[in-house]
């Protein structure tokens, strides 16, 4: 019996027990679809996180202040202190002190209620320095950006503009922030959202306006974040070291372990996030793979039942001269067909689900060709591996004993 005849006979045997075969395939296809989706979700999440971090700007270093301590001695977390100032940002803009930094932008933020006529909206008001657009890779879609020395100009994000005026064509309108009137001179280009906030729900003012008109007080010179744009991707590490040394000197700190600031880079953020999600993906894929094991056991069970039911058929074929290898090959082909069918249907189901899930979960699902092809290969391997024992058992049946079986 050649391979074509063996395959034809195996297919006929599978079709003659369609319901049983379908249930066997079901166990495999669920496992395959689960593996493809878990890997896709993991890769999709990594992609989303990388894009969100990249949206901060290219070649970026992020300087945040240290922790604060209140009057009762309770310490806040990192970033809660007032240890960074506009003077620090100005110092790091020096090409002599920090030659590997191309541009510097400081931010001072506050959640404020903004009023336009009878409408009010609470948004993030951000005071910025000159190079904010360049460093943060943002653009103005309508109008112009705020003058760095102005105390009464504001640029709105598209979401804030829509909430306050019902449109983004708001240049020339007046918005009131902290009791002071600001002229709307521009609207930022839409950027979308990251995992924590709407990047378009923002109001941009100059640093003097933020410090003197909106915030005031003793901490008017402090800033929440300083962004440093390195001259090139290859100079990020050098820029980091230069900025660290300069800030330590400015803050009269001799031991770097006692630094009252933190400098992080996009690379470190991406690396950390990717590592976490890769571990999670492997864990979920491992759990999904357990269903493949269950599917494999189902294949073995069905093939053993098939051997038992077809004992007389096996005995007759062996009596007519069929060698043990031909018997063994037939049952292995049957198991392979079941595994391959489950793999193909499972892959198609996983790909179809990957097209639907992003709209439901709000997260990307990236289909990996390697995962799809590998899963189909694993499904076939499962069919073969779990079909070996039933095939060997069938091949070892003695013809006389098989013919006598009821």
- pLDDT tens-digit map of 213-225: 898 777 788 899 9
pLDDT recorded at residue 129: 93
Confidence band, pLDDT 50/70/90 cuts, at residue 90: very high
235 and 328 share a domain? Answer: no
pLDDT recorded at residue 70: 46
* Number of domain units in the chain: 2
pLDDT recorded at residue 223: 92
Asked whether residue 276 is domain-assigned, the answer is yes
137 and 227 share a domain? Answer: yes
Asked whether residue 71 is domain-assigned, the answer is no
Asked whether residue 243 is domain-assigned, the answer is yes
pLDDT recorded at residue 45: 75
Whether the CB-CB separation of 288 and 38 falls below 8 Å is answered with yes
- Report whether pLDDT(287) > 80: no
248 and 279 share a domain? Answer: no
Q: Determine phi and psi for 21, rounding to 5 degrees.
A: -65, -40
In Å, what is the CA distance from 145 to each residue of 103, 116, 150, 171, 344? 17, 20, 11, 11, 55
Asked whether residue 319 is domain-assigned, the answer is yes
47 and 96 share a domain? Answer: no
Asked whether residue 77 is domain-assigned, the answer is no
Average pLDDT of the segment spanning 378-399: 75
Domain, as residue range, for 161: 84-259
In percent, the amount of the chain with pLDDT more than 70 equals: 81
pTM value > 0.75: no
Average pLDDT of the segment spanning 155-175: 95
135 and 189 share a domain? Answer: yes
Could you list the beta-strand ranges (E) of 137-190. Answer: 140-143, 153-156, 174-177, 180-188
Contacts of 80 (CB under 8 A, 6+ apart): 65, 67, 68
pLDDT recorded at residue 270: 61
Asked whether residue 344 is domain-assigned, the answer is yes
According to DSSP H, which parts of 320-368 are helical?
A: 324-361
Q: What is the DSSP letter of 126?
A: E
- Report whether pLDDT(24) > 60: yes
41 and 97 share a domain? Answer: no
Whether the CB-CB separation of 273 and 48 falls below 8 Å is answered with no
Q: Pick from 197, 231, 259: which residue ends a domain?
A: 259
Asked whether residue 62 is domain-assigned, the answer is no
Confidence band, pLDDT 50/70/90 cuts, at residue 404: low
Whether the CB-CB separation of 23 and 298 falls below 8 Å is answered with yes
314 and 210 share a domain? Answer: no
Confidence band, pLDDT 50/70/90 cuts, at residue 23: confident
Average pLDDT of the segment spanning 329-357: 84
Contacts of 161 (CB under 8 A, 6+ apart): 167, 168, 170, 184, 187
103 and 196 share a domain? Answer: yes
Tell me the per-residue pLDDT of 227-273, one tens digit each, with 9 for 90 and over.
Answer: 999 888 778 889 999 999 999 999 999 988 888 888 887 666 666 66
Q: Pick from 200, 224, 259: which residue ends a domain?
A: 259
Task: Give dist(CA 180, CA 149) in Å, integer.
Answer: 16
Tell me the per-residue pLDDT of 103-129, one tens digit each, with 9 for 90 and over.
Answer: 999 999 999 999 999 999 999 999 999
Contacts of 156 (CB under 8 A, 6+ apart): 164, 170, 175, 184, 186, 187, 188, 202, 203, 204
Instruction: Calculate the average pLDDT of the chain.
Output: 81
- Listed range (66-70, 106-110, 115-119, 371-375) with the worst mean pLDDT: 66-70
* Residues pairing with 125 in the sheet: 110, 203
Q: Dihedral of CA 157/162/168/172: which sign?
A: negative
Give the DSSP H or E segment for 250. Answer: helix 236-250
Q: Pick from 259, 281, 305: which residue ends a domain?
A: 259
In Å, what is the CA distance from 396 to each residue of 1, 20, 214? 18, 25, 89
Confidence band, pLDDT 50/70/90 cuts, at residue 326: confident
Average pLDDT of the segment spanning 158-169: 94
118 and 168 share a domain? Answer: yes
- Report whether pLDDT(75) > 50: no
Q: What is the DSSP letter of 256?
A: G
Whether the CB-CB separation of 209 and 151 falls below 8 Å is answered with yes
pLDDT recorded at residue 234: 79
278 and 252 share a domain? Answer: no
225 and 333 share a domain? Answer: no
314 and 254 share a domain? Answer: no
Instruction: Rounding to the nearest 10 degrees, give the CA dihedral for residues 395, 398, 400, 401.
Output: -100
Average pLDDT of the segment spanning 91-112: 92
In percent, the amount of the chain with pLDDT more than 90 equals: 30
Asked whether residue 79 is domain-assigned, the answer is no
């Amino acid at each position: 019996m050649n391979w074509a005849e063996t395959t034809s006979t195996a297919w006929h045997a599978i079709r003659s027990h369609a319901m049983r075969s379908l249930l066997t395939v079901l166990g495999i296809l669920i496992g395959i679809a689960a593996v493809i989706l878990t890997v896709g979700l993991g890769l999709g999440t990594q992609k989303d996180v990388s894009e969100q971090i990249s949206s901060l700007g290219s070649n970026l270093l992020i300087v945040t202040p240290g922790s604060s301590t209140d009057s009762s001695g309770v310490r806040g977390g990192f970033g809660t202190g007032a240890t960074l100032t506009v003077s620090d940002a100005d110092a790091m803009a020096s090409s002599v002190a920090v030659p590997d930094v191309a541009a510097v932008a400081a931010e001072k933020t506050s959640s404020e209620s903004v009023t336009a006529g009878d409408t009010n909206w609470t948004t993030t008001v951000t005071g910025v320095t000159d190079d904010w657009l360049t460093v943060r890779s943002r653009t103005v879609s309508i109008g112009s950006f705020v003058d760095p020395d102005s105390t009464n100009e504001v640029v709105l994000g598209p979401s804030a503009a829509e909430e306050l005026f019902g449109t983004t064509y708001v240049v020339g309108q007046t918005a009131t922030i902290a009791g002071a009137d600001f002229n709307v001179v521009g609207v930022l280009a839409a950027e979308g959202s990251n995992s924590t906030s709407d990047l378009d729900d923002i109001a941009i003012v100059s640093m003097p306006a933020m410090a003197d008109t909106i915030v005031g007080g003793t901490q008017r010179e402090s800033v929440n974040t300083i962004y440093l744009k390195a001259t090139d991707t290859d100079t990020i590490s050098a820029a980091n070291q230069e900025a660290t040394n300069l800030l330590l000197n400015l803050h009269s700190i001799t031991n770097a372990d006692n630094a009252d600031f933190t400098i992080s880079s996009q690379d470190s953020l991406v690396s950390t996030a990717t590592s976490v999600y890769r571990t999670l993906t492997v864990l979920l894929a491992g759990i999904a793979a357990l269903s493949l094991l269950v599917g494999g056991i189902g294949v073995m069970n069905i093939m053993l039942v098939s051997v038992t039911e077809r004992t007389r058929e096996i005995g007759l074929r062996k009596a007519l001269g069929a060698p043990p290898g031909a018997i063994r090959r037939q049952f292995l082909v049957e198991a392979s067909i079941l595994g391959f069918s489950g793999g193909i249907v499972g892959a198609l189901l996983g790909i179809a689900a990957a097209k639907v899930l992003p709209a439901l979960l709000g997260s990307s699902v990236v289909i990996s060709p390697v995962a799809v092809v590998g899963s189909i290969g694993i499904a076939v391997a499962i069919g073969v591996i779990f079909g070996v024992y039933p095939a060997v058992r069938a091949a070892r049946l003695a013809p006389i004993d098989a013919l006598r079986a009821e």
